[in-house]
Amino acid sequence: MAAVEQVFRARVSAVKNRLAGIKKHSRLKIFIVWLVFIGLISAAFYVPYRAFLFLESMGSLGLVIVDRLLYLFFMGLFVMLIFSNCIICYSTGYRARETTFFFSLPLEYAQIYFIKFIDSIFLSSWTFLCFLLPILSAYAFVKELEWTFYVFLLVFFVPFAVIAAAIGCLITLLLIRFLPRRFYQVLGWTVSGLFFAGCVWLFLAGRSVSQSENEVSFLLTNFIPHFGFSQFAFAPNFWISEGIMKFIAGLYVESLFWWLLLLSNALFFSYIGIAFARRLYYEGWLRSGSSGTMREFLPQKDIISKFCRGLRFLPLATQALVVKDIKIFWRDPVQWSQFTVFFGLLAIYFANIRNLGYEQVLPFWKNIICFLNLSSTNLTLASLSVRFVFPQISLEGKRFWILGLAPLEKRDILFEKFWFNSIAALCISLPLILLSNSMLSVSPELMWLSVMVVVVMCFSLISLCTGLGALFPNFKEDNPAQIVSGFGGTLTLVLCLLYIAVNVTALALPFHLFITEQITEVLFKKLIVYAAIFIVFLSIITIGVSLSAGTRALKDLEM
């Protein structure tokens, strides 16, 4: 264990050096990062705080709903933690160069797995913890809890996060060892098919819902009956929720029981993972680095190449770039799995709107739900675009000079990535917003305006990520997460969030004023026209400035 201790000491030293290196960054970057962080934390506190106050105003019914939301919240958090640990364990435990170095040292396989397991816990949990604290702080403010609640929350969160990390790492360990690499794509198609089948089933199997005359009627008939699935007694989200509820009620002995239950299961699943790692980790690591197939891939038999032959209107060099980008995306499970899961979850939620009865709520709430769905779709697109589109120019790395020798201009490289990613984003986002609005039965005006906003936002967000990715390249780094964490990635994320906030607000404000009867119908139509013109004008400027800046940066780039 001495070698493991040295590794963790090196980890601590690396963290200290990173914190000390913050002083070397520009003050503008530090200010922007802190401004965005404070803004996100404030929003994560204010929105649930207002929601909890609204529920509290309903009396005893609201108190019951507030408490039951805790179970639902931790259930979603637990599922996302498992998925996050699967991705992180695969990227750090199998794809990282550091893992190759560890296998060359006199370390047991279980020790290497334990090191990566601890890394996965920290890397997956700190982000969720940053958003967990403001949300539950809003809950604590409404309940008027003391400061000891926050300490108790952290104590409960540790074993809860360890259980999720142990399950996620164990799933990755078994999949990598027993699932041949050639079946990763088959797994991706299977998961995508299940998401699609679930959406179709939810769309067709709608249940009868009663018309809601007010918020209380809606909650009683269409919302509360769905709480039961989040209160499964053998799930960790139930244990942590029960422990917190018992602590709030002053039943400390019963609360200790639930914490010990979490702790014992955390130790059990961690031990199971280490035991499996002794036999499976090294073999899985070897398999992850091999092709996993003896088939000969010929251009005439390649499905992607056959598909791209339909793009005959494009120059041959551009067709080759499209084929390359599709294959790079398809061969990396980290990329397509995140797109599949995040947009698949949105699709299942949108398809389930009819079963939740949201189309029966009052126009005021239907309007809010519609624009929340629009915002969530674009925010998901923005986050994944910054994560995967922004680093594409930088990931060409030291081999970027090869593209410079190709028979195409540098601007063609930039525009190929822009059009390819924009069309792909449009094919995902547009059906989602059409599904959402059709389930909500919104007005035709709102339907077409939402479609227009999604179309222009897809092109604008991708142009921001592509143009700024060329403006702030980092050819020395081959880790996309490190590229995105730089100044360019931070600035891109901030601009994407501001762009979404401005456009959604410009479109939502006239509808809100009209529904609340603050403006007349004539003025409402004028404001809608002005909002549409503003959104289109802002999008054209965003696309033009981003791509022109990226083009100039590539022209000045020395290869």
* Residue showing tokens 């309007």: 367
170 neighbors 281 (Cβ within 8 angstroms): no
Q: State the pLDDT at residue 272.
A: 93
99 CA to centre of own chain = 26
pLDDT: which is higher, 81 or 480: 81
Conformational region of residue 209, where left means phi above 0, alpha means psi within -120 to 50, and beta covers everything else:
beta
Banded pLDDT at 553 (limits 50, 70, 90): confident
Q: State the pLDDT at residue 46.
A: 83
The H or E element that residue 530 is part of is helix 521-555
Closest by CA to 464, choosing from 534, 519, 545, is 545
Burial group, residue 77, by CB count within 10 angstroms (0-12, 13-18, 19+): buried
219-228, 244-253, 255-264, range with the lowest pLDDT = 219-228
pLDDT: which is higher, 150 or 330: 150
Write down the pTM of the prediction: 0.70
Dihedral (Cα; 276, 281, 283, 284), 10-degree rounding = 110
Residues belonging to the chain: 559
pLDDT: which is higher, 527 or 478: 527
Q: State the pLDDT at residue 164.
A: 92
Banded pLDDT at 142 (limits 50, 70, 90): confident
Check pLDDT > 80 for residue 492.
yes
Q: State the pLDDT at residue 211.
A: 47
- Cβ-based neighbours of 318, under 8 Å, separated by 6 or more: 311, 408, 412, 416
Q: State the pLDDT at residue 223.
A: 52
Q: State the pLDDT at residue 194.
A: 61
Q: State the pLDDT at residue 518.
A: 83
Q: Report the share of the chain in percent with pLDDT over 70.
A: 72
The CA–CA distances, whole Å, from 269 to 120, 212, 231 equal: 14, 45, 21
Q: What is the pLDDT of residues 379-401, one digit of tens each?
A: 888 887 887 888 888 777 666 66
Check pLDDT > 60 for residue 359.
no
What whole-number distance in Å separates Cα of residue 287 and Cα of residue 292? 7
What whole-number distance in Å separates Cα of residue 370 and Cα of residue 328? 35
Q: State the pLDDT at residue 273.
A: 92
**DSSP assignment, residue 485?**
T
Check pLDDT > 60 for residue 489.
yes
Check pLDDT > 60 for residue 221.
no
344 neighbors 191 (Cβ within 8 angstroms): yes
Q: State the pLDDT at residue 213.
A: 47
Mean pLDDT of the chain: 77
Q: State the pLDDT at residue 294.
A: 47
Average pLDDT over every residue of 216-225: 50
Q: What is the pLDDT of residues 31-72, one digit of tens each?
A: 777 777 787 778 778 878 887 887 777 666 666 677 777 888
Q: State the pLDDT at residue 256.
A: 92
Q: What is the pLDDT of residues 443-465, one digit of tens each?
A: 787 888 888 888 998 999 999 98
